[in-house]
Amino acid sequence: MILWVEIPRSSADVTLLLQAFLKKAGLVGFYGPAAMTQFAEFPEPWDYTVRNFYHATAEPKAMGKFQASEEWTDEVLAWGDVDLTRPRKRHPSDGWAWLKDGRASGPLTGGCLPSLLQLVGTPFQPEFKGRILFLENPDGEQIDRGSPLSFVHSQLTDLKLSGVFDQIAALFVSRPFGYDDEQRAQFREMVYRHLQGVRFPVLYNADFGHTDPILTLPLGVQSTLDSQLGQWSVDEPAVA
């Protein structure tokens, strides 16, 4: 008998490793850029990405207040071919948005939404109580397209029913990837509807995940969201 198991692309997401290292060994992991997709950017990496990466991983002091990037892109070019002839198309950023007001502090946790759901109910399930959760939505069947909105709706429902929203102190959601303008509006409305009735602050359209440029987020490190001040900060060093 031959058993064939198809493993979805999200199963290989680094979220699984970072959360396992934090849960079982207490190691701070960094949710940030990759060698090919960020540091090999043509003609050079985004300064925003590089600056935040080195601040998080090489400076023994708190990262402090984050700033929204002025531009962004989710264009996907063929590595080693088209991406060596022109840079990706960039768009002006409309900044971050607060879907829910409030102020909260707590350790950072999170990652790719479908990968986090894989961990629920396992020995590697993240600690959610009092945490500031960050979520990103990955690509779908095509690497240049976002996950179908029906999938995202189902995954957010699963996360909510698992009790995560009853435990966390705050939430921030990445800029959606691989959608047109109409789909981005639908995605935002979907997130907003799933968060009806929550009492914690929610920051939306943040610079991490599958779009560029991106911040580097240290798991397990204290962070603060404050909608009144319009601020998001990391309040302690991630490295010694």
pLDDT exceeds 70 at position 169: yes
**pLDDT for the residue 40:** 87
**pLDDT for the residue 11:** 46
pTM exceeds 0.95 for this model: no
- pLDDT tens digits, residue range 10-29? 445 899 999 999 999 999 99
**pLDDT for the residue 197:** 92
For residues 92-113, give the mean pLDDT: 97
Residues β-bridged to residue 218: 30
Higher pLDDT, 151 or 2: 151
Contact 116, 219 (CB under 8 A): no
Residues β-bridged to residue 98: 203
Bond into 43 cis (ω within 30): yes
Length of the chain: 240
pLDDT over 70, % of the chain: 93
pLDDT exceeds 90 at position 123: yes
- pLDDT tens digits, residue range 40-63? 898 999 999 999 999 999 999 999
d(CA 222, CA 120): 22
CB atoms within 10 A of CB 237: 16
d(CA 238, CA 52): 12
pLDDT exceeds 70 at position 82: no
The structural domains of the chain, ordered by start, are 11-234 (3.50.30.60)
